[in-house]
Structure 1
Amino acid sequence: MMPMGLGEIAEAVRGRLVCAPQGPRAAGATATSAVSDSRQVREGSVFVAIAGERVDGHDFVAGAARDGAVAAIVDHRVDAPLAQIVVDDTVAALGLLAAHNIARRRAEPDPFTIVGVTGSVGKTTTKDMLAALLGSLGGTVAPVGSFNNEIGLPLTALRVGARTRFLVAEMGANHVGEIAGLTRIAPPDLAVVLKVGTAHLGEFGSVERIVQAKSEIVRGLLPGGAAILNADDPNVASMAPIAPGDVLWFGMHDERALSGGVSARDVAVDGDDRPTFTLVGPDGAEQPVTLGIRGAHNVMNALAAAGVAMRLGMDAAAVASVLGSLRRISPHRMAVSEVRRGDASFTLIDDSFNANPDSMRAGLDGLRQWGAASGARPYRVAVLGAMLELGPDEDALHRAVGAYALDCGVDAIVAVGSPADAHVDALAGAIAQGARQALAGRDGSAASVDLVHDTGQADAVVARLAREHAGAVVLLKGSHVSGLSALAERWAADAADEPTR
C-alpha cells in the first residue's frame, strides 16, 4: 500500500475521522497496509471492519488496536482506543480506498500495468501462471487463492506499492455489473477473457447475460488497452468490437489465433497428465513447452498467460521456461499427493476447489489420462460432488456428468451428497443416476456407482476401494458446498506431496 495519512484515507473513502487518540497512533499517523482480517493486523495497518454472516469485524477493533493498527474503518463508532473512520458501508469504503491506492501508484513515474482476468473457468490457474511469468519481469502483486470479488480484489489492489510493476487482478461475477465495479477499482491495461460457460447460470438466467457480465472487463479497459480473447469460444470472440485498443487472439482451432495470434499445436500429455505442446507466437516463432502443472485443459490457460507475457515483451523461450518450472498453484486445483489411510494407499488428484460442467469434464479428462502415456491402467475412482447455480437444467447437467465419467473409463464413481442440504443431496443423486443409466446400456462394464450422503461415508468407500485395488488414483471434484475440499484437508494429514520429477 502507498503510505497514507488518516486524513487522506478518510477523504478517499468519504468518511469521517473520529475518536483519534493521543500518542503514536494519533490522527497524524501513517498507514502502510490495509486488512479486513484482524489476525493480519501489523504495525501501520488500517483495519476494515466488515460485518459478515457469522462474524462482525467491529467486534475485533479493540484487538486490532492492541496489535498495532493505526485506524479502523467502521460503519459505527466502537469503544476502542483507536482512530476510526466512520462510513456508511465498509465494503464500499474498501473499494474506494483500493481505487485511491491504484490512482496513487499510477501517478508515480515508474511504469505500472494492471492485467485483468475473467472467465467461467480457469481464472485462478491463469492468474497463477501470470504471477509466475510477470514476476520474472518485475515486482508483481497477484491475489491469494481466488480473491476475485468486491472484497478480495480491493484487498489485493491495496498490496500495490510504489515498487509494484504489475498487478494481476482476477475478476469474478455472480451478477451483471459486478465486474464493471471491479474495473472501476482497478482499471486494466490488458484484459483476458478465457471462456463463457454455464457457471452461475442460475444466477444470471441465460448465457447471454453471462456474456454481458464477462464483457464488462473489456469495456472497463483503459483507453487504448488491449484485450486478450479466446478465439475458439464464439461468446468470447463476440467481445472484440467493444475493445478500445488491440485484440490479441489465443486458441487452438480458430484461424484468428492460428494466424497472428498465440496458438498451440501437437498437444499431448505424458503419463503424469502433464501437457506438452508447441507454442506458436504472433510472429510465427515456435517453442516447445512442457507445463509443470497437470491437465490438458490448462493448455488454453497457458496460451492466455503467454499472450499477456509476450505482449509485455517476454520471449517465447522465457515463457516456456517459467511455465515448465511452475509446479504449485492455488490449493485444490489438480494437486497430486500420495495418501495412506491405514492399510490403504492411493494417488489423490485434488481438484475440489469448485466445479461446473466444463471443469468437471476437464477433471475427468485428467483422470482418464493418468498413466495413459506409460501404458499403465490404474484403478480410477471419481469422487464427485454437486455443482451449484446451474439453473433449471441442473438435474440433466448432473446426470450428464455421471455418464461422462463412464465415458472416461472410470472404474468407480462416488457421488457425495449432504445430510444437511436436501438440494445438494438430490444433485449428487442425479450424478449417480446418470452413471447408473449409462452403465445399464453397456454390456460387460464392471464399474461401481456409490451414492453417499457425507464425506465420512465417502472416506470409507474410497479406503475400501484402495484396499481392494492397489495403485488406485482418486479424483476429488465438486463445488465448495459439497465439502470435498474439507475431505482433501482431512486426507492431507496422511499425504505426502508427489516428488518433483
Structure 2
Amino acid sequence: MLPLRLADIADWTKGQLHNARGDETVTGVCTDSRKVQRGDLFVALKGERFDGHDFVAEAAAKGAAAAMVQRPIASAIPQVLVADTLRALGDLAAAYLRHLREKNPNLCVVAITGSSGKTTTKAMVAAIVQAAMPSVASPESFNNEIGIPLTVLQAEPSHRALVLEYAMRKKGDIAYLCRIAPPDIAVITNIGTAHIGLLGSRQAIAEAKAEILGNWGLETGDWQRDHAKVALLPADDDFFVFLRERAKGDVITFGVSPNAQVRALDCQVDWDGTTLSATDGEQTITLKLPVLGEHNARNALAALAVAKVLGIDWGIATEALEKFQPPKMRLQRQWIEPPGCWVINDAYNANPDSVKAALRTLKALPAQRRVAVLGEMLELGAFHEQGHREVGEVAAETVDLLLIVGKGAMAIAEGALAAGMPSERVVRFATLKEAQKAWRAWLRRNDVVLLKASRAIGLERLLEPISEE
C-alpha cells in the first residue's frame, strides 16, 4: 500500500481527526489486532459479538500508527473518528483505488461472482494473471465488505491487475462491492441455488449476481464507468439470456456449448485431475488441471476467457492452470487408514448444484466402490426439502453406498430411496458425533469416498482422530 496521510484518510471517509495533526502516515490497514504490523491503520470494526474498540490499545502497543474509530478512545494513538468504521473502510478503499488509477489508468479490476465455483475460478484467474503481470488477488475468504477493501488497499501503482471475488447474501451486496472496486472485467460463473433461502428464487439470485454487470450508482469520468467494460458469461446457464441482456459492455461467452466463444472441445476426468481441450477459434490448447470435475473445467474456461480479454497468451495460461493451487477442501484427496481408502474432501461448502456436480465427478472416477457421505445444505429456505431430495435422486444414480449425517439432511436419504436405491445401501446418522464413531465401519479397503456438506456442518471432522471421550 502507498503511504497515506491521516488528513487524506479523514477527507476520504468524511471523518474527523482526534489526537492527530493530520500529517501522520500509515503504511497498511488492518482490522485484526492480533495481526497488526508497525505503521498500520487499525480499523476498529464493531459486530454483534465483538467490538474492535476494545482492542485499540493492543493495536497501539503492537505498533499501529493510528486507529479508525466510531468513538474517541482514551489513548495517545492518533485517531480518525467516523460514523461507521465498516462503511468508512469501504470508502477508504474506493478512494484509494481512484487515487491509484490516477497514477495508473491501465489498472484492471477483474471481479468474479457466481453461485458455485467462484473461489476456484478466482484462484485460477489469479494464477494466470500473476504469471503474466504484477497483480494482487484476494485471499481465499476475502470476498465481502471487509475482505474486498483490505485487498484493494494492498495494491500499488506498479500493479496492473486486481483479481477479486464478490460474495453476497442479499440484494445490493454486490453493487456495494462494485462501488468500492468497479470491475473492468466481470465474470459470472453460474446461477444456482446457493442462498436461495435468503433470496427466495433463482430469478432473485440471478438479479443479485447481475449487479456485477453495472448500474452501481457511480459518477462516470475519464476512466470510471457505471458498468463493466467486458462481461464474461456462462453460455450453458439457464439464465444466460437474462445476464446477456443486463450486460452493458462487451460480452464474451464460455462453456461447453458450441456457441460459446471460449469453449471446451473435450473433457476427461481421472485420478490425476481433469484433462481439458479448449479453443477460442484462434488458440487451441490441451491442459491437465490439478482438480477433479467437469465443473472445474468450466471454471477453467472462465479463467481462459479472462486471459483472452487481458491479452495473455494461452501458453502462459496453460502452464499457470496446470500449476495452480486449488482452495482447501474442494475435492481434495486424502488417504485414510483404516480401512485404507481415498477420501475426496469437498466439505468446504455445499448447495444442491455443487453436491450434484461432486457426485457426478465421483461417478466419473475409476473405483471398486463409490461412497458418498453427505450432510445438510443450509440457507435453502422453502427449497430445503426439494433440494435435499434432488441430491438424493442423483446419489441413487452415482454411488454404491450413501451415508447421511445429521437430521437436517435426511431428505437426501428419502430422495435416494424414492429413486430406487436399496435401503441397505442408505445409512443414517442423526448427529456428526454419532457418525464420527461409526462411519469408518461402513467403508471397505479401496473405496472412493466423497465428503460434502455446508461449511457450518463441519463434515471434515470425520477425518480427525476419534476422541476417547
TM-score, length of structure 2 as denominator length: 0.92
- 217, 236, 243: which is aligned to 1:239? 243
What is the distance in 1 between the residues matched to 2:466 and 2:191? 33
For 2:363, which of 352, 357, 368 is the aligned residue? 368
Do residues 437 (structure 1) and 418 (structure 2) align? Answer: yes
Evaluate the alpha carbon distance shift between residue 103 and residue 10 of structure 1 in structure 2; reply closer, same or farther with a 3 A threshold: same
User: Structure 1 residue 359: deviation in Å?
Assistant: 0.3
CA distance, structure 1, for counterparts of residue 466 and residue 346 of structure 2: 13
Q: From 293, 296, 305, give the equivalent of 2:294.
A: 296
2:124 maps to 129
* Aligned counterpart, 1:415: 404
Q: Is the 8 A contact 1:183 1:217 kept in 2?
A: yes
Q: CA 1:83–1:179 in structure 2 vs 1: closer, same or farther (change >3 Å)? A: same
CA distance, structure 1, for counterparts of residue 233 and residue 30 of structure 2 = 33
1:420 corresponding residue in structure 2: none
Counterpart of 2:316 in structure 1: which amino acid? A
Rounded Cα–Cα distance in structure 2 between residues aligned with 1:483 and 1:34: 31
Would you say 1:107 and 2:102 are equivalent positions?
yes
Instruction: State the AA in 1 paired with 2:239.
Output: N
Q: Distance in 2 between matches of 1:91 and 1:476?
A: 36
Q: Which runs of 5+ in 2 are unaligned?
A: 217-224
Aligned equivalents of 1:311, 1:50: Cα separation in 2: 37
Cα distance change of structure 1 residues 482 and 126 upon mapping to structure 2, 3 Å threshold = same
Query: Cα distance, 1:486 vs. partner?
Result: 4.5
Mapped partners of 1:284, 1:139: distance in 2: 26
Q: 2:221 — aligned with what?
A: none
Q: Alignment length, in residue pairs?
A: 458
- Name the CA distance, whole Å, in 2 between partners of 1:413 and 1:54: 38
Contact 2:124-2:303 within 8 A present in 1 as well:
yes
- Tell me the residue number matched to 1:333: 330
Select which of 46, 54, 73 maps to 1:51.
46
2:67 paired residue number: 72
Match of residue 459, structure 2, among 484, 495, 499:
484
CA separation in 2, counterparts of 1:473 and 1:344? 11
- 492 and 316 in structure 1: CA distance in 2 versus 1, 3 angstrom threshold: farther
Residue of structure 2 equivalent to 1:11: 11
The SS at the match of 2:239 is helix
In structure 1, give the amino acid aligned to 2:276.
F
- Aligned ranges 1:35-184 → 2 under 5 Å: 35-109=30-104, 111-184=106-179
Amino acid of the structure 2 residue aligned with 1:293:
V
State whether structure 2 residue 222 is matched by structure 1 residue 225: no
Question: Which residue is 2:378 aligned to?
Answer: 388
Aligned counterparts of 1:80 and 1:17: Cα–Cα separation in 2: 14
1:139 deviates by 1.8
Larger mean CA deviation between 310-319 and 125-134 belongs to: 310-319
Structure 1 contact 211–236 (Cα < 8 Å) conserved:
no
| TM-score, normalising length: structure 1 | 0.86
1:62 Cα deviation after fit: 0.8
Q: Check 1:224–1:179 CA distance in 2 against 1; reply closer, same or farther (3 A cut).
A: closer
CA distance change for structure 1 residues 80 and 368 in 2, over 3 Å: closer, same or farther? farther
Q: Following the alignment from structure 1 to structure 2, what is the Cα–Cα distance between the partners of residues 412 and 435?
A: 11
Q: 2:440 aligns with which of 463, 481, 496?
A: 463
* CA displacement 1:212-246 (0-9 Å, x = unmatched): 11111111565671111111114133222333321
Deviation at 1:318, TM superposition (A): 2.1
| Contact 2:115–2:191 (CA under 8 A) maintained in structure 1 | yes
When residues 56 and 223 of structure 1 are mapped into structure 2, their CA distance, relative to the original with a 3 A threshold, is closer
What is the Cα deviation at residue 329 of structure 1? 1.9
With over 3 angstroms needed to count, the CA separation of the structure-2 counterparts of 1:236 and 1:461, relative to structure 1, is farther
Aligned to 2:267: 267
The separation in 1 between residues aligned to 2:377 and 2:124, in whole angstroms, is: 26
Q: Distance in 2 between matches of 1:475 and 1:437?
A: 21
Q: 1:473 aligns with which of 448, 451, 458?
A: 448
Please report how far the alpha carbon of residue 432 of structure 1 lies from its aligned counterpart in structure 2 after TM superposition. Answer: 2.3
| Superposed displacement of residue 254, structure 1 | 4.9
Distance 1:379 1:98, change over 3 A: same
Q: Does the 8 Å CA contact 2:269/2:365 hold for their aligned counterparts? A: no
Cα pair distance change 1:462/1:378, threshold 3 Å:
farther
How many angstroms does 1:459 deviate by?
A: 2.3
Q: 1:56 to 1:379 in 2, by over 3 A?
A: farther
State the partner residue of 1:307: 305
Are the aligned partners of 1:145 and 1:331 in contact in 2 as well (CA < 8 Å)? no
Distance in 1 of aligned mates of 2:52 and 2:371:
42
Q: Deviations over 1:47-96 (max 9, x none)?
A: 11112232221221111001111111111122333112121111101111
Question: Which residue matches 2:187?
Answer: 192
Change (3 A) 1:78 1:126: same
Contact 1:415–1:431 (Cα < 8 Å) also in 2: yes
Query: Shift of the alpha carbon at 1:321?
Result: 1.8
Aligned residue for 2:198, secondary structure, equals: helix
Deviation, structure 1 residue 380: 2.3
Partners of 1:262 and 1:462 lie apart in 2 by: 43
Identity over aligned pairs, percent:
40
| Residues 85-131 of structure 1 deviation map (CA, whole Å, 9 limit, x = unaligned) | 12111110111111112111111137311001111111100000011
Q: What is the deviation of 1:482? A: 1.3
Offset at residue 164 of structure 1 (A): 1.9
Secondary structure of 1:239's aligned partner: helix
CA gap of 1:378–1:153, structure 2 versus 1, over 3 A, is farther
Between 1:477-486 and 1:66-75, the stretch displaced more is 477-486
Q: 1:62 to 1:44 in 2, by over 3 A?
A: same
Q: SS at 2:333's partner residue?
A: strand
| In structure 2, distance between residues paired with 1:181 and 1:334 | 31
Find the counterpart in structure 1 of residue 387 from structure 2: 397
Partner SS state of residue 107, structure 1: helix
Give how far 1:473 is off. 2.2
